[in-house]
Amino acid sequence: MKTRNNVKALVLASLLLALAIILQLVQRNFTQINPLLIGPLINTTILLTTYFCGLTYGLMISVLIPVLAIPTGALAAPLIPFSPFIVVANLIYAASFYPLMKKGKFGIYIGALLSSVLRFLFFALSAMKLLYVFIPDVSKKSAQLIGACFTTPQLLIALLGSAVAIIVIKLLRKRKITV
């Protein structure tokens, strides 16, 4: 029976990863689509994977989404040097959500809020300080773009993604749809 659950989790995680890749390709090909639409949906896939498939798959998705954004062209060229920081921020997002997501009545809300804030704080620290430590030869243009993209907007993106994930989880629970 455990093998069946593992297969279900793997299939669902794969489908959510495919959804995230499709969303990234839509963003890349239709630049008029606001990143405040696609970004939260990418974050939603991370939390849904973590919630329904477990921490291991949530962490895998957290790594694969930004890694696959590079060869597909979904990550703008000036942002590629920042991709390791995106991976770590996603790992923080999933890992900090997981221990709280099923704790009591408000665990999912506290987990979503905490994970969003921690992700934002890591991004802000990375964009303002760590980038220059680990990539000292980063171009001024790239540094400005990274600073603009990975500070305050990321808090909004994470909070929106968390809200969408909570809504989906609550709807699936209410309808007694098990994953």
Would you say 168 and 48 are in contact if contact means Cβ atoms under 8 Å apart?
yes
168 vs 62: CA distance, rounded Å: 19
Does residue 114 lie within any of the structural domains?
yes
Predicted local distance difference test score (pLDDT) of residue 31: 66
Does residue 64 lie within any of the structural domains?
yes
Give the residue with greater pLDDT, 75 vs 115. 115
Residue 45: DSSP 8-state: H
- Which range marks the domain in which residue 44 is found? 2-174
52 vs 125: CA distance, rounded Å: 30
**144-160 average pLDDT score:** 87
For the chain, what is the largest distance between any 2 Cα atoms, rounded to a whole number of angstroms? 55
In the chain, what are the helix, strand and coil shares in percent, each to the nearest 5?
Answer: 80, 0, 20
Does residue 179 lie within any of the structural domains?
no
Q: Provide the CATH number for the domain around residue 103.
A: 1.10.1760
Does residue 127 lie within any of the structural domains?
yes
For the chain, what is the domain count?
Answer: 1
Q: What average pLDDT does the chain have? A: 89
Predicted local distance difference test score (pLDDT) of residue 44: 97
Does residue 160 lie within any of the structural domains?
yes
Residues 81-117 pLDDT 10s: 889 999 999 999 999 999 999 898 899 999 999 999 9
**5-30 average pLDDT score:** 90
Take residue 27 and report the two structure tokens written for it: 């963003």
55 vs 42: CA distance, rounded Å: 17
